[in-house]
Structure 1
Amino acid sequence: MLERCKTAQERWGGVHEIIDRWLRYRKALVEAFVALREVGEYTPTDTPKVQAFCELLVDYVSTGHFEVYEQLALEAKEFHDDTALACLHKLMPEIAVNTSILLEFNDKYDTKEHCNKQLADLPFSLQAVGVLMEERFVYEDQLIEELHEAHSEQSA
């Protein structure tokens, strides 16, 4: 997952400042996820790590929804790029479902009390979140790639 994150930043970093920042958020999110998964047996002392991951997760998802996707749509409209808009309309429902499930994870583990009550479930929840993050990154990379390709061709 971390390698995929590096590859995305190499391919699309510089396309736009918002996307660059977002890809840095993605990298931080993946690193926090990997560190959390490596803990093994979770105890209440791990709660701050879980909460920090939840905060990164919500920040990443929020930045996508309230900054990046909007910017991608605006750019596609500006370039009269029906293909990119179609891709956006196709993938946004998938991303929305993904977002709902990720936010359920956050709600389950976002506070010390919530987290400590659910520690036994954490390994399974993290496994599911890992799958969701991978799925989300594929969707997002498709959006960025579609937009980047269209703009590169029109700018040339």
Structure 2
Amino acid sequence: MLESCKTAQERWGGVHVIIDRWLEQRRQLIEAWVYLRDRGEFTPMDTPKIQSACEMLVDYVSAGHFTVYEQLAIEAKEFDDDSAVVLLRRVLPLIESTTEIAIEFHDKYDTKEHCNAQLEALPFALQALIVVMAERFQHEDQLIKELHEAHSEKSA
């Protein structure tokens, strides 16, 4: 999609839009978690909200892996930024380990049956997920700051 852009501003501005959209997904995901965390005890009536949060989680994680990180790697290569490539190689495995935890959470609560069978454990599972994802967000923010923002300055 972005490879067909003619100018650096079109190209890297497009990456900026992708990152902004992704960070908005993150904000919405966090809001869903806060809503669920503040619920305290859960009933089967909460299942649709829980399933929605699971979908948002998978969408967010997928966008990171299949769009954002890919675009950051392309930027690093196109700017011939060896330190960015090294950073990606160091940070992406840390992010990938959180992906496994996010997918496990999703798989536990993705359907009505799964969700209702484990409602009692949800507050603990949700809190553990939030802690892990907070670490992930720090790594993602580091990638954005050290890769995209640095390259945006070079392309300006």
* Counterpart residue type for residue 67 of structure 1: T
**Secondary structure at 1:154's aligned position in 2?**
helix
Shift of 1:150: 2.6
Highest CA radius of gyration, 1 or 2? 2
Aligned equivalent of 1:128: 128
* Counterpart residue type for residue 93 of structure 2: P
Q: Cα gap change, 1:153/1:20 in structure 2, threshold over 3 Å: closer, same or farther?
A: closer
The separation in 2 between residues aligned to 1:152 and 1:25, in whole angstroms, is 22
Query: How many residues of Structure 1 are paired with residues of Structure 2 in the alignment?
Result: 144
Q: Deviations over 1:12-69 (max 9, x none)?
A: x986111011011011111111111111111111111100000000000000000000
Aligned equivalent of 2:69: 69
**Which stretch shifts more, 44-53 or 143-152?**
143-152
The separation in 2 between residues aligned to 1:57 and 1:19, in whole angstroms, is 16
Aligned equivalent of 1:3: none
**Which stretch shifts more, 56-65 or 82-91?**
82-91
**Secondary structure at 2:42's aligned position in 1?**
coil
Shift of 1:124: 0.5
The separation in 1 between residues aligned to 2:49 and 2:34, in whole angstroms, is 11
Shift of 1:145: 0.6
4+ residue stretches of structure 1 with deviation over 6 A? none
Aligned equivalent of 2:36: 36
* Counterpart residue type for residue 145 of structure 1: K
Residue correspondence of structure 1 range 14-93 to structure 2 within 5 A? 16-93=16-93
The separation in 2 between residues aligned to 1:99 and 1:148, in whole angstroms, is 22
The separation in 1 between residues aligned to 2:128 and 2:115, in whole angstroms, is 16
Contact 2:33–2:53 (CA<8 Å) still a contact in 1?
A: yes
Q: Deviations over 1:71-124 (max 9, x none)?
A: 000011111111111111101111111000110000000000000000111010
**Secondary structure at 1:28's aligned position in 2?**
helix
Normalised by the size of structure 2, how large is the TM-score?
Answer: 0.88
Normalised by the size of structure 1, how large is the TM-score?
Answer: 0.88
The separation in 1 between residues aligned to 2:140 and 2:126, in whole angstroms, is 20
The separation in 2 between residues aligned to 1:55 and 1:109, in whole angstroms, is 10
Structure 2 residues not aligned, in runs of 5+: 1-12
Aligned equivalent of 2:154: 154
The separation in 1 between residues aligned to 2:39 and 2:148, in whole angstroms, is 38
The separation in 2 between residues aligned to 1:14 and 1:141, in whole angstroms, is 18
The separation in 2 between residues aligned to 1:150 and 1:31, in whole angstroms, is 29
